Chain A
Amino acid sequence: MQVKEKTNFFKNIIAMRGMGQVISVSSALVMMCIVFSILNPNFFSGKNISNLLRQVVPILIIGIGQSYVLITGNIDLSIGSIVGMSCMISATLMTRGVNPWVSALIAMLCCLGMGLISGLLVSKAKLPPFIATLGTMIVARGIAQISNNNYNTDAIGEGARGFRNFFYYGQTLGLFNTVWIGLVVFIFFDFILSRTRTGRHIYAIGSNIEASKLSGVNVVFTTTIVYIISSFCAALVGLITTATGGLGTMDAGNGYELNAVAASVIGGVSTLGGQGILLGTVVGSFIWGVLNNGLQFAGAPVAIRNIVIGIVVVVAVLIDIIARTGKVKKAKE
């Protein structure tokens, strides 16, 4: 009896939507780690591991935001700029003597407002998401630049020590706080997506928007919420960036929106909507992180890292498509 339940448990896990891709990508991740540790025995040192974890978290967090948007069948190009906006607004306020926590809160609210605008443009005004968020991306970058009159900020100083420790330098139970933040964000948003009504609506909209409407799903509301969530994630990463550098930089988060897409699709989130789980996004962002870190350790220049990561994105999605269409053919026979 006991044994039977156990196999059922594993069966259930494997049968979960999107788990197939997660398992195959995880094994690729394990293999990658093995290769890098052979190339460089220090790869698995405690110091490198904790560094690696801390590097991955920002990509993981915005990857989660982007995954939400992708699962509804949309895309959010603005999140890289929103990272910059959050970073610049918070740092500017701190250098002008505003309490760091209040600064962070104000920056966060501005970013959520941006997400609300993107969301309404897509859901209510029915703009193609690519165009709508291209617009908000440019605007948000502009806001980042105008925050401190087109200059990066000065150092946020000693007063912000608590803030910097909370988001980046401090440790709790032997792990960097950043890692804890990533973990909490993942658990919270995974719960929302997999267990709540809003989460279910997000999958339904991505799978078939017309059927969702006709089933009484509030499509405008849910789509808007998703953009706000993705902006929340980006704003959080912006605050981490401020804490990391100790100042605001105008081009913070540049290109992150596509890194976030990469992490999501490597992990099995479909850009066509309706498919994918956040665990996949976690593995996807780790692949991104391990490749970056491992290649850096092995002495590869940035250019090579970019080429490799670009290839990995395409190959991961290609394998997924081949696996899926292969399955469909079999089912039809």
Chain B
Amino acid sequence: MEEYIVEFKHLCKEFPGVKALDDVSFNLKRGEVLALLGENGAGKSTLVKILSGIYTKDSGEFRLFGQEIHNLTPKRAQELGIAIIHQELNMCNHLTVAENIFLGREKVRFGMLSNKEMNAEAAKILGKLNIDISPETIVGELPVSKQQMVEIAKALSTNAKILIMDEPTSALTSREIEELFSIIKSLKKQGYGIIYISHRLEELEHIADRVTILRDGKFVTSMNFKDTTLQEIISHMVGRELKEKYPRISCPRGKKILEVRNLNAGKMVRNVSFDLYEGEIIGFAGLVGAGRTELTRALFGADPIDSGEIILDGKKLNIKSPIDAIKAGIVSAPEDRKREGLCIKLSIRENISLPNLDSLCNKLGVVNKKKEKELTQSIAERLRIKMPNASVNAESLSGGNQQKIVVGKWLARNSRVVIFDEPTRGIDVAAKVEIYNLMNDLKRQGIGVMFVSSEMPEILGISDRILVMCEGRITGELDINEATQDKIMEYATRFEKKEINSRTA
């Protein structure tokens, strides 16, 4: 039997309401690159967090270098040789390369920093990796790819033996990816174990030795990369049966409501065009970071638009802020309830009436409390919001009921387009169904619904049409009759080709 440096057996981890990991077994050998694959929410990050001591397992066996491990803390994990290179780099931009590498472990002589020693040491580590950066460079002045290499150097300087890389190539150009891969290969030769997480399946062929696939918190399979195909990997990633029931209704498709033409906004919305008709729900599918939320923010005026046209009911709109969008009839229930959707210190009533004060106030701007109460009452009843009374803080409600407020505050207006960005995230099944019913209700009333979700079953279960995004572009459109999880996944991973010369380092 080969020697495993990481070994999980029958690992379970439960969060309130979700089984994040359910009987997962996983292992990593010395000197291999293991690709850890799975859809959004498959359990990859939970697994990594247990490995790095951020979460503790509920049950199961966990061995590191053959030793059984209990009560791992992040600090202990680092001492044992585990290091993570995050997707978002954790660097102090104003400090030098050497200062970053030794952050928190500064070398001190007579109470004074000994920069010479640290610079020399940093240069040694960088040299070992064939990275050509001076240790005295300010990190913020380096391109992202070099910063990432500094991060790797930092990990190695802590004597890491196991490197976890989370989407390391997403911000890199093809040339930089090549450099990164040659570093990974040399690390592999030196006996490091590398866990490589990526949605870009096509780049695996250059580095992966083995793949392990998770789905819905369960272990699916682990196989040698040589013995499989990308097609097979995709079907393992998505291959669940659709057994949940979704309350789909069918309406005749009416006239065109919204027309978006060549919309560009920032880096994550690129040349997006689509139409939205009365009586339909468009699902927006894609991987995390595909640009779906950015698209909804641009349409809603929350982020500036660089170019393109938004045409509502035949009229071209000039949306500069959410105020313009709301006036025109486009409203949005944002993704992050606590950060963008709710004023948690204000009462339920105040939250619901906030965007509707124009109709609740007289000419002098005095709020009509009676009207306000009636409005809150009718929305609370329509959405069955469970609350002691409407004066309690929004903070005190459950996630599902908070979500209903975020959505419900828009229902009093005569909107034309309602955007739902991940409306069912983190809420219980009953509340989910109520949100679906509400979307269907709007659809029946001839209101256009845009439904962004990372959960494929619900996208497939509720939408009439699915647009798939990847890297800010719409990479595919699927009618609901032809849509399958495999097809969505295929479009969702249709990254722009980055030519990688598979040069062995």
Question: Chain A residues in contact with chain B, CB under 8 A?
Answer: 15, 17, 195-198, 200-201, 203-204, 207-208, 210-218, 274-275, 331
21 A-B pairs whose Cβ atoms sit less than 8 Å apart in the complex: A17-B346, A195-B367, A197-B357, A197-B365, A197-B367, A200-B354, A201-B357, A203-B346, A203-B350, A204-B346, A207-B343, A207-B345, A211-B334, A214-B302, A215-B322, A215-B409, A216-B326, A216-B327, A216-B355, A274-B343, A274-B345
Residues of B within 8 A of A218 (CB): 323
The listed residue with most B CB atoms (<10 A of its CB), out of A198, A201, A207, is A207
Interface contact A211-B347, CB-CB below 8 Å:
no
Top 5 nearest A-B pairs (CB, nearest first) are A207-B343, A216-B326, A215-B355, A197-B357, A274-B345
Bound-state CA distance A101–B387 (Å) is: 54
Which A residue's beta carbon lies closest to that of B353? A200
Encode contact with A along B315-335: 1 for CB under 8 Å, 0 otherwise.
000000111001100001010
Interface contact B343-A214, CB-CB below 8 Å:
no
Residues of A within 8 A of B366 (CB): 195-197
Which B residue's beta carbon lies closest to that of A217? B354
Q: Does B340 contact A (CB under 8 A)?
A: yes
Question: Chain B residues in contact with chain A, CB under 8 A?
Answer: 300, 302, 321-323, 326-327, 332, 334, 339-347, 350, 353-355, 357-358, 360-361, 364-367, 369, 391, 396, 409
Bound-state CA distance A73–B339 (Å) is: 15
Residues of A within 8 A of B391 (CB): 15
Residues of B within 8 A of A17 (CB): 346-347
Bound-state CA distance A201–B354 (Å) is: 8
Cβ 8 A contact of B344, one of A201, A208, A216, A217:
A208
Q: Apart from A210-B340, A215-B322, A331-B396, what 14 extra A-B contacts exist at CB < 8 Å?
A: A15-B391, A17-B347, A196-B367, A197-B357, A197-B361, A197-B365, A197-B366, A200-B357, A208-B345, A210-B339, A214-B341, A215-B354, A216-B355, A274-B346
Bound-state CA distance A204–B344 (Å) is: 9
Query: A198 to chain B: closest CB distance in Å?
Result: 6
Interface contact A204-B354, CB-CB below 8 Å:
yes
Residues of A within 8 A of B361 (CB): 196-197
Query: B504 to chain A: closest CB distance in Å?
Result: 49
Cβ 8 A contact of A200, one of B339, B345, B367:
B367
Bound-state CA distance A204–B323 (Å) is: 15
Bound-state CA distance A249–B326 (Å) is: 50
Given A214-B300, A214-B332, the answer on whether A196 and B364 have CB atoms closer than 8 Å is yes
Interface contact A211-B341, CB-CB below 8 Å:
yes
Interface contact A275-B345, CB-CB below 8 Å:
yes
Residues of B within 8 A of A196 (CB): 361, 364-367
Residues of A within 8 A of B321 (CB): 213
Bound-state CA distance A195–B366 (Å) is: 6
Bound-state CA distance A144–B207 (Å) is: 71
Residues of A within 8 A of B354 (CB): 200, 204, 212, 215, 217
Residues of B within 8 A of A200 (CB): 350, 353-354, 357, 367
Interface contact B367-A207, CB-CB below 8 Å:
no
Bound-state CA distance A328–B409 (Å) is: 26
Given A195-B367, A200-B354, the answer on whether A216 and B345 have CB atoms closer than 8 Å is no
Query: A179 to chain B: closest CB distance in Å?
Result: 26
Given A196-B365, A197-B367, A208-B342, the answer on whether A213 and B322 have CB atoms closer than 8 Å is yes
Residues of B within 8 A of A198 (CB): 365
The listed residue with most B CB atoms (<10 A of its CB), out of A15, A203, A211, is A211
Bound-state CA distance A165–B332 (Å) is: 56
Bound-state CA distance A86–B322 (Å) is: 38
Residues of B within 8 A of A15 (CB): 391
Bound-state CA distance A287–B323 (Å) is: 42
Residues of B within 8 A of A217 (CB): 354
Query: B58 to chain A: closest CB distance in Å?
Result: 21
Bound-state CA distance A17–B345 (Å) is: 9
Interface contact B344-A207, CB-CB below 8 Å:
yes
Residues of B within 8 A of A211 (CB): 334, 339-343
Residues of B within 8 A of A197 (CB): 357-358, 360-361, 365-367
Interface contact B302-A213, CB-CB below 8 Å:
yes
Query: B29 to chain A: closest CB distance in Å?
Result: 43
Which A residue's beta carbon lies closest to that of B339? A210
Which B residue's beta carbon lies closest to that of A218? B323
Residues of A within 8 A of B339 (CB): 208, 210-211
Query: A192 to chain B: closest CB distance in Å?
Result: 9
The listed residue with most A CB atoms (<10 A of its CB), out of B300, B346, B365, is B346
Bound-state CA distance A195–B367 (Å) is: 6
Residues of B within 8 A of A331 (CB): 396
Query: A272 to chain B: closest CB distance in Å?
Result: 9
Query: A250 to chain B: closest CB distance in Å?
Result: 39
Query: B257 to chain A: closest CB distance in Å?
Result: 20
Bound-state CA distance A331–B358 (Å) is: 35
Residues of B within 8 A of A210 (CB): 339-340
Bound-state CA distance A204–B347 (Å) is: 10
Residues of A within 8 A of B334 (CB): 211, 214
Bound-state CA distance A213–B325 (Å) is: 11
Bound-state CA distance A196–B365 (Å) is: 5
Which A residue's beta carbon lies closest to that of B410? A215
Residues of A within 8 A of B332 (CB): 214
Bound-state CA distance A59–B100 (Å) is: 49
